[in-house]
Chains A and B, each alone.
Chain A
């Protein structure tokens, strides 16, 4: 009886480790990507897309493997937990939602996330921030924030991301070759 009890304690301790301490566990919970409601009314065109693992699976079933573009897309979404996109286009200058961006950034805790690219172009008045989550072996999250004078985009991809596969989309969905460190 004592053995069973100690065995259960072991299981509980293991589960607690997985839930609370394991680095990958944090990626199981989705990042809270704001809907940027303040931009919706001002935008001339907007896309708010949230696809969880279930919907990705459903969508994947409609990808035709015989078509190269669909086959590549199918390959990319394998192992993904979610894709969230917030994209807004404007006819004129818009107020950058700094508070929501700050709230989003606050969720990207080190060492699980690190900023791979942070650029500011004075000439284009644009900012590009790219964060990669995970460890050195496997990217588990990708977050891109693009701020331009007439466009604002946030893309968040969670799951086992194969950057090489994303590169492989080049020429199919217009994805360029990324400088991937291997």
Chain B
């Protein structure tokens, strides 16, 4: 029984020489698959990625620049109001001094 099984297996798994037609078909498929893998790459992909990177970097830089500009403008605005307030106070002091001296002169005269 076991001897038959072994014989059956040997017969079933014996090396079989492929037919010429099979070999041709196989080689044709291999060649076709090779052509498929070596087809021209998407040459535009790399420049496009670089361009996209540049655009992104420029956009980010521009956004940062605009943000910094806006912050500087806000700070300048606050400083301007403070400067004008200090100026007005200083002018007020000058005025008070001039005014009081005028009053003194008028009182004296």
Residues of A within 8 A of B (CB): 47, 49, 51, 55-56, 58-63, 73, 76-77, 83, 85, 87, 117, 119, 121, 126, 128, 130, 144, 146, 148, 153, 155, 157, 166, 169, 173-179
Identify 14 residue pairs between A and B in the complex whose beta-carbon atoms are under 8 Å apart, listed by A's number: A49-B86, A56-B76, A56-B80, A58-B72, A58-B73, A60-B80, A62-B74, A85-B86, A85-B87, A87-B86, A121-B97, A148-B93, A155-B83, A175-B92
Verify A153–B86 contact, CB threshold 8 A.
Answer: yes
Verify A51–B83 contact, CB threshold 8 A.
Answer: yes
Which residues of A sit under 8 angstroms from B52, Cβ to Cβ? Answer: none
Which residues of B sit under 8 angstroms from A178, Cβ to Cβ? Answer: 91, 94-95
Verify A174–B90 contact, CB threshold 8 A.
Answer: no
Which residues of A sit under 8 angstroms from B80, Cβ to Cβ? Answer: 51, 56, 59-60, 63, 73, 77, 83
Asked whether any CB of chain A lies closer than 8 Å to the CB of B77, the reply is yes
Verify B72–A55 contact, CB threshold 8 A.
Answer: yes
Which residue from chain B places its CB closest to the CB of A50 in the assembled complex?
B79
Verify A62–B88 contact, CB threshold 8 A.
Answer: no
- The docked-state distance in angstroms from the alpha carbon of A58 to that of B72 is 8
Which residues of B sit under 8 angstroms from A179, Cβ to Cβ? Answer: 95, 98
Q: Assuming the A-B contacts A85-B82, A178-B95, are A146 and B90 also in contact, with contact meaning beta carbons closer than 8 angstroms in the complex? A: yes
- The docked-state distance in angstroms from the alpha carbon of A177 to that of B99 is 10
Which residue from chain A places its CB closest to the CB of B88 in the assembled complex?
A175
Verify B87–A176 contact, CB threshold 8 A.
Answer: no
Among A58, A73, A166, which residue has its beta carbon within 8 angstroms of that of B81? A73
Which residue from chain A places its CB closest to the CB of B92 in the assembled complex?
A176
Which residues of B sit under 8 angstroms from A130, Cβ to Cβ? Answer: 94
Asked whether any CB of chain A lies closer than 8 Å to the CB of B30, the reply is no
Among B76, B85, B91, which residue has its beta carbon within 8 angstroms of that of A55? B76
- The docked-state distance in angstroms from the alpha carbon of A166 to that of B90 is 12
B83 to chain A, nearest CB (A): 5
Verify B88–A174 contact, CB threshold 8 A.
Answer: yes
Verify B82–A49 contact, CB threshold 8 A.
Answer: yes
Verify A155–B72 contact, CB threshold 8 A.
Answer: no
- The docked-state distance in angstroms from the alpha carbon of A166 to that of B94 is 14
Tell which of B84, B92, B93 has the most Cβ of chain A within 10 Å: B84
Q: Assuming the A-B contacts A47-B82, A49-B82, A51-B83, are A117 and B76 also in contact, with contact meaning beta carbons closer than 8 angstroms in the complex? A: no
- The docked-state distance in angstroms from the alpha carbon of A63 to that of B77 is 7
Asked whether any CB of chain A lies closer than 8 Å to the CB of B89, the reply is yes
B101 to chain A, nearest CB (A): 7
- The docked-state distance in angstroms from the alpha carbon of A146 to that of B72 is 29
- The docked-state distance in angstroms from the alpha carbon of A175 to that of B98 is 15
Verify A117–B98 contact, CB threshold 8 A.
Answer: yes
